[in-house]
Structure formats: C-alpha cells, structure tokens
Structure 1
C-alpha cells in the first residue's frame, strides 16, 4: 500500500471520530453526566477524542466496524473514575508498626468515630455555653475531663505536640533562656528539632551537661536572671545506654521551685495509664509527671493516648491562662472535629479495666499471639494459591513496634506471613513487583521489605477486615 493510500485511510478514520455533542447524547455518556456532571464529562470526552486522533495519526490499526463512540465513552469513564478516586485512601497496615506516622498513627475507637460524624453533620456548641446562653471557650468542652484524668489544675489543646511546645515556650520564655539537658535535645518526625522549635518561639536554649550525663548541679549553675524555666524532654524516640546519668522530674522541679521558676516536661507520647498492667513496657504517665512537680506537661493525643492528632498542655492554672492568652493560641487551636473525637477517647480512660477492649490502639498493641497465628495460616493459604509456584509463602513469628517515637527500643512479639522467591532465589526485582502490585490493590496493602523477603505483619489486621483482605489477595494477579 502506498503512502497516499495510507494517508487516505487515516483521513477516513479521522472523519469517523464523532463530534463531542453526538457522543454526549449517547446512553453511556448520559449515565456519566448523571454521576459526574456535564462539565467534567465534556472535558473527558474531548480529551478522549484528542487522544484517539493522535492514535490514528500514529497509524494505529482499527477494524472498519470499530465503534469509536463507544470507545470515547469508555475512555472518558476510565479517566473520570481515576480522577475521582480520593488521594487519601484506606490501606491495610501490615508494616508491623502500630502507630505509623505515614499511615495516620492512632485509629479512633467507635465512640470517637460516631462523635465525629455527629459533629460533621449537625451544628455543635463549639463556643456556646448552653448553661448561660452566652459565648463559651472551646477548651471548656474537655478541660474538666483532662484535669480529672491527669490531676492538673487546667488544660488547653492545640493541633499537635510540636505546637504545644512552641506555644508554651512562646508564651513563657520569649527573649529569655530555657535550660535543657544536652541529652534531651531530640529530633522528632519530619526533622523538627527541639532547638529549632525553641528558636522559633523566641527563646534562647541553654544547654547543660553532656550527651550521656547530666547532674543536678548543671541545672542549678545554669540558672541566672534571664532564665524563664527549666525543661525536661522525655526521650521517647531514642535511648542512650551505658555510662549515663539523668536528673529526674522531681529533682528538676525542686530545683526550679527553689529558685521560683516554672518547670515544664515534654512527654511526647503521653499516656494516661500505666501500660505495664497490659503487659507493655512502662512509660511515665501524665499524672505521675504532674505529681512529681512539673508545672506544665505537653503530650500528643494521637500516639499512646490513642486519639486524634492533637497536642495537650496541662498544668498550673495561672500558667495555662497565660498560654491561652498568647496570640499563637488562636492560630494553633483545634477545630470541632478534633474536640469531638478527643472527648470520647478521654472518657474511655474513666474505665481502665475496659480500655483494652474499647481503645483501638491498646487492642492492637495487646493482640493475642494465638489470634495472629491462626490468622497467618488463613492468609498464607490464600496468598500461596494466588501467587503460585513462583513464590514461597510462609507463616512466621515477627517483631512489631509501637511506632511514632514511642518506646523505640521495645518490640512486641507478633506473627505474619513472609513471601520469598521460590527455590531460594534472591531476585529482588520480582519481590518489588509484588510489593507494587499489593500497593495497587483497591485497598492498598503496605508491608515491608527486609532480608530478601516481603513481610506482612498481621498485628494490625483485625478480624473485621480479614475477609476483605483475603478477597483482594485471592484476586491478586502479577
């Protein structure tokens, strides 16, 4: 066939591409309009028609009976569905990290979820005092409850713990010095460092001691007329072992009070109960820290507390009042959804004997090994059948971690499935392809690669989600 004949065929095919208005009148396009609206459908069909013309100009082969109108509707539907898919999506967290920062940290308990839905769909008394009929303070919604659980005189809430520290320092130590042990100058997630936060707050850091050893006299000798407060930072995201020495909260508090200075503690992953009663490593509670003499304590709502992202500040009433009057407080305050979720989570702590059952984070952290072992057998069977002889799938013991900087050196015995290349082949490329395929599922599956294997830790795969997970696995195709 000559070039002229080929060109003629292409022109004939181009002439068969239907006009956008004609496609819009089809039944398929009308269904799309009902779902997505005319504006989006017109754009999608126009883009599909342009793409089709490019194919034809590139001499793509189409049968003479090919239905171009149906193709445009199909391509438009595919594009609209992809465009409408949420960027923020539910995933299966099989990484072994319970409080995974990149996957949203704590999962809310049912009571909190219902409260958030209520707040989303109805007007709420966010800043309205129902008793007096006048404007209220949104902190009043949970202030009494936080104080009841922590033993503090007063409390306030901001959008995360870094904000809590920033606001505290801005309100109490601007243009003054804050004394902190060098061994407590931690970096938290996202490269936010305590010295940087202090600098942004307008406070001057006064480092004392050494990386591994700090003594009471270091605090005492650092105090001068420019000192605003003494501060301790709980090193929840790393640990120093060996020849070490630190000064306890009560010792620092006594030193501060003897010099008429306030003493603040950043607990980071604050907890309201003794985790040891649930078989977990011990962490200082907020109440213990307040009882030890801390005038202010800052901690997260979405880590060990098991609630929404928030930063809580508790302590002496006069200091909390000063913090709440600072201009930054309005910029850092939380909205109704955070407060709606936080209150029911806090209420769960009034019944600590029921906490393991009702608080999602604690339920995952204390999940029985027998449950995970039985689940691993079911998952292994389905995955092996879906993946075939190219892979070896085994149920094996693993070690989970709490995550989000909480108890970094402590691990939790867990169970999961391990996927390797068959016959002991290393072949990392095949495993990476499988890992990508799992992430591409309708509800993406996030595991972790280690030691030439893809590991799926089942600690966070609760029974309610297992059926949906197995159904996806059964349909997995590479």
Structure 2
C-alpha cells in the first residue's frame, strides 16, 4: 500500500475514542488527556509510515495510547521494595508508619478535626497541645513543641535563644548532612554568631569556658549525625556541658539529630542516648526528629525548659514551620505506642525491621532464591549472600546489622546497569545496591514475599 493510502487508512481520533477501551480510559483519565494521548499516538504512527514502516492496526494504536496514559498517570511517589540495606533511607521516605498512625492520619484527612479548638471551653486552642502531654511524659521535659522537621527545630531554637548573640559549638560538631545542610549556614540564617571552640578531634571544658562572655547567647551541642571521629579524641559530655553552661548563665541546646525515646540495646542494637537521658542530664532544650528512630512522620520536636519552649512558640517563625493536622494525628498515634514498650517492636515498623534477626532473614533469602532465579531467567544468576544493613538517616552511622539477601550477577557493566534500571522501572520498583559487580537485594526490609515475586515476573526477558 502506498504511503498516502496507509496514512488515509488510519482511524480518526473520534473513531478511536469511541472504542470500548478508550471510552473507559476517558472515564478514568479524562477526555482531554485521553484525546491528547490518541493524537500523539496517531502522530507517531504517521511518522513511522512515512519512514517506510507498515501501518499499525487499530488494536495496536489503542494499546499504545493506553500505555502512554498509564505512564503519564503513574506517580514516582509510589510504593516500592526497599532492598537497599538501609532501613531509614532518606531518599525513600525514611520511617514506615505504624498501622495506628496510618489509621489516625486517614481519619484526620476524611473529617474535620479540632486542630486548634478547645472542645471543653469552645475557645481557640493550640495545635501543639495534642502532643505536649505525651512528649513531656515520654521525655521528662517540662514542656514541648514541634515544627515540620529537625532542621527547622534547630533553626527556630537558635533564633529564639540567641538571635544577635553568639553560640558556642565544638569544631568537631560543625556537621554537614544530606542536601548540603551545614550547621554554620543554619546558625547564620538563625541570626547567631558562630564561635568555634576546640579542634576537630578534641574539645575540652576549658575551651568552652574561655569562650563564654557577655555576648554569649547559648552553647550548642550537636549529635554527629552521619560520621564518627575515632582515635585520639575528647568531647565534653552533655551533663558536664550543661553544668558549664549554667555556670556561665546561658542555656544548653542539644541537637540529638535522629533521637530515640527508648534504650535500643534491649533489641540488640547499640545504645544511643535517649531524649530523657539528655533532659535529665541538664540540657535546657533538646531537638530531635520524628521520622527517624522514633518511627513516625516527618517532624522536629523541641523539648525542655518551659520558659525556653515558650520563647520558641512566640517566635514568628513558628507559624511558618508548623505541622498540619494529618501529621499531628499520626504523631500522636505513634507516641502512644511508646507507652507500651513490651509490644513496641511488633507495632512499630522501624523497630521491627531493625530488630529482625539474621537467621530469619537468611531463611527468607533461601526460600526466595529459586523463585527469584526463575523470574529473572537468563538475565542474572541468583545466589544467597550475607550482607550488612545500615540504620540510615544519620542514626548510628558506623554501626551495621548482620543481614542476608540475594546476589544478582548479570555479567557486570552495561547488563548489570540495565537490570537495575529495569527493576526501578517496574510498576512497583525493586531497589537494591551495587556491590562487587552484582546487584545485592538485602531482604531485611522485605515483608511481602508474594508481592516481590509478582513484581519480578513483570520484568522484560
């Protein structure tokens, strides 16, 4: 058939839109989006015919338009399998929420809620009141407030306590974390003047004492979120630094970064200072995250002295950094789980995954090796392997957890990169990590075996 005849034989946009499949697509995606996809499909068909290719059948045109609609509708913010070996992966949204938190957030989304209304008096209330009692109970602090993340908590606390004055901090704690977040930059934005003391690896009480003067607004202690300095080191512990700050008549602000409300050692993890420990040791304000070790949604908590928390709440930045009703509902539900520490690990996904034992993960790897190999076919060889998981998000940065997984060897180079890309392109993506010329799937975070196998079976051979 000559080119012009093939072009004339193509169905019109209206003809295609009247087919059963595309009429249903109009209901799902909207008429305008479906018509646009059909027009682009027909444009591609015309270009192909002019290039000497055969004219596609109407069924092929319909299928191509539907694929384009599905691709355009598919969000990158969709569920995936985190088999990277990093439990609290910043790029993957950090903590998975507990079912209780999901239910609370869903209820808050569906209905009006008394976010800033005191139901007893009928007058305006404070949104922080929903969390204040819980936070004080769990941390031992006099008062508590929250903002939208821990970086914001540090920013507003610095501004409230030391704007126009000096903040003393050890050189070994001038951190940079992901996204080029640098503590000196945050201090500058907060309006405080940085005063560095000590050296990178050693800071002593005399260093802080020598820096104290009338212009000092506060002393800042920062948790080394994503690194450790080891060897010939010295730092001033929180208790001693609090005493030194109080001698100088200034508050101590302790940024715990990830922060934890419980002693992790009871689940076989390395012990980190808890927020309660830090408060009891004399820190005047403590900041920490909601979406890391705490296992809730993104938030930044500020707990400590009542007068200082009040100063934070009076700060004009507070409104700009406040948290919405959905996250508050999820945070309340998450914090309530900590009232029952005996059942915390079974109810809180973050802790459940971190506490998972290597023999259980190894058994899972052995069980999945054969069906995963079958799903991959000739694309890769599959073998069970030992690996080490990371906690992630700056928590215990040099500590790893014994784990197990599957090693996918695809020949290295281009073939390995293509396999990793195809796994990311699945309707429910599968993410691992490259190590020693293979793609390693660490199974610590896998709780849906059937779902993983179903995703892998959709891979192109």
Aligned to 1:468: 451
* Range 428-437 or range 155-164, more displaced: 428-437
CA distance in 2, matches of 1:28, 1:183: 63
- Report if aligned partners of 2:209, 2:244 keep a CA contact under 8 Å in 1: yes
Secondary structure in 2 aligned to 1:412? strand
- C-alpha separation between the residues in 1 aligned to 2:43 and 2:456? 37
Structure 2: stretches of 5+ with no match in the other structure = none
Q: Is the 8 A contact 2:101 2:330 kept in 1?
A: yes
- Over the residues paired in the alignment, what is the CA RMSD in angstroms? 1.5
Tell me the equivalent position of 1:3. Answer: none
The answer to whether residue 421 in structure 2 is matched with residue 432 in structure 1 is no
* Equivalent of 1:16 in 5, 9, 27: 9
User: Which residue of 276, 279, 290 maps to 1:287?
Assistant: 276
Decide whether aligned partners of structure 1 residues 67 and 388 sit closer, same or farther in structure 2, where only a CA change above 3 A counts. Answer: closer
Q: How many residues align?
A: 461
Task: Indicate conservation of the 8 Å contact 1:382/1:474, yes or no.
Answer: no
**Are 2:20 and 1:35 aligned?**
no
SS at match of 1:118: helix
Moved more, 389-398 or 114-123: 389-398
Greater CA drift, 12-21 or 169-178: 12-21
- Rg: which structure is higher? 1
Match of 1:104 among 93, 104, 110: 93
Counterpart for residue 238 of structure 1: 227
Trace 1:345-364 onto structure 2 (pairs within 5 A).
345-364=334-353
CA distance in 1, matches of 2:109, 2:252: 39
Distance in 2, Cα, partners of 1:72 & 1:383: 34
Quote the offset at 1:75 in angstroms. Answer: 2.5
Asked if 1:450 corresponds to 2:435, the answer is yes
Instruction: Map 1:366-377 onto structure 2 (within 5 A).
Output: 366-377=355-366
CA distance in 2, matches of 1:419, 1:87: 24
1:386/1:477 contact within 8 Å kept: no
The residue that corresponds to 2:287 in the other structure is 298
Residue 368 of structure 1 and its aligned partner are, at CA, apart by 2.1
The answer to whether 1:60 aligns with 2:53 is: yes
Aligned partner of residue 330 in structure 1, secondary structure: helix
Structure-1 residue corresponding to 2:255: 266
Task: Supply the distance in 2 between the matched residues of 1:271 and 1:427 (Cα, whole angstroms).
Answer: 40
1:120 aligns with 2:105: no
State the Cα deviation string for residues 112-157 of structure 1 (Å, max 9, x = none): 0111111111111111111111111000001110000001111111
> For 1:404-433, what per-residue CA distance to the aligned partner results, in whole angstroms no more than 9, with x for missing partners?
111011110111111224xxxx53222222
Residue 84 of structure 2: aligned partner = 95
The equivalent position to 2:315 in structure 1, one of 302, 322, 326, is 326
Q: State the alpha-carbon separation in 1 of the partners of residues 21 and 87 from structure 2.
A: 45
Does structure 1 retain, via aligned residues, the 8 Å contact 2:218–2:250?
Answer: yes
Query: 1:184, 1:472 → 2: CA distance?
Result: 44
Retained in 1: the 8 A contact 2:152–2:300?
Answer: yes
Counterpart of 2:132 (choices 128, 143, 157) is 143
Aligned to 2:118, which of 129, 132, 155?
A: 129
Q: Show CA shifts across 1:378-425 (max 9, x none).
A: 21111222334563311122111101111011110111111224xxxx
Contact 2:219 2:250 in 1 (8 A): yes
Quick one: distance in 1 between partners of 2:71 and 2:243?
61
TM-score, length basis structure 1? 0.93
Q: Deviations over 1:82-130 (max 9, x none)?
A: 1111220111011111001111110001100111111111111111111
Matching residue of 1:385 = 374
For the pair 1:175 / 2:164, whether they are aligned, the reply is yes
Ranges in structure 1 where 5+ consecutive residues have no aligned partner: 1-5
